[in-house]
């Protein structure tokens, strides 16, 4: 994958990253940066958090015209983990999965600091939990103030076994 960290804004456009593995951000790991991803295809990444993309709490993440798909995480954010503010525009987040044993969240996106989602498709994301702790947000697990408009959030699922509690197949 790619590590991006800088005191200057970084923009990545018209590129692809696929089938990488890391502890955070299988394809892209961003820390301490304002990151813009434009027309990017990030797919099939594997990580503990942020199967395809991990952005730390000190990162502002802007994604436009991109596809984030097929990511796998064991804790949170199958497609995207956004610790800082997230803006997602004209993009697709699909077929991502979080599969873990406790307190799993955000099959498609786990976002902790608010943001905006405009004209996006969030679909076919899955969250599977075994053990204890619960599972939240098959498509989206959101914290902070979010504005979502002109978007489709469909066919996302949460499945638990044992004593886990499940909530928010689409949004939690």
* Count of beta carbons in the 10 Å neighbourhood of residue 30: 29
Which comes out higher in pLDDT, residue 135 or 60?
A: 60
Greatest distance between any 2 Cα atoms in the chain: 47
pLDDT band at 44, cuts 50/70/90? very high
pTM over the 0.85 mark: yes
The span from the CA of 110 to the CA of 83, in Å, is 8
Which comes out higher in pLDDT, residue 86 or 170?
A: 86
Which comes out higher in pLDDT, residue 122 or 11?
A: 122
Q: Is the pLDDT of residue 142 over 70?
A: yes
Residues belonging to the chain: 172
């Amino acid at each position: 994958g790619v590590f991006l960290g800088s005191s200057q804004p970084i923009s990545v456009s018209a590129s692809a990253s696929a089938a990488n593995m890391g502890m955070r951000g299988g394809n892209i790991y961003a820390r301490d940066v304002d990151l813009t991803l434009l027309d990017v295809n990030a797919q099939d990444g594997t990580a503990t958090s942020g199967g395809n993309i991990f952005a730390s709490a000190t990162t502002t993440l802007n994604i436009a015209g991109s596809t984030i798909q097929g990511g796998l995480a064991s804790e949170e954010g199958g497609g995207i983990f956004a610790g800082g503010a997230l803006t997602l525009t004209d993009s697709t987040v699909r077929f991502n999965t979080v599969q873990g044993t406790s307190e799993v969240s955000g099959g498609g996106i786990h976002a902790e600091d608010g943001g905006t989602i405009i004209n996006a498709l969030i679909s076919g994301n899955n969250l599977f939990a075994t053990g204890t702790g619960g599972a939240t947000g098959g498509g989206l697990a959101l914290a902070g103030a979010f504005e979502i408009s002109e978007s489709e959030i469909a066919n996302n699922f949460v499945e638990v076994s044992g004593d886990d509690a499940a909530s928010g197949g689409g949004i939690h």
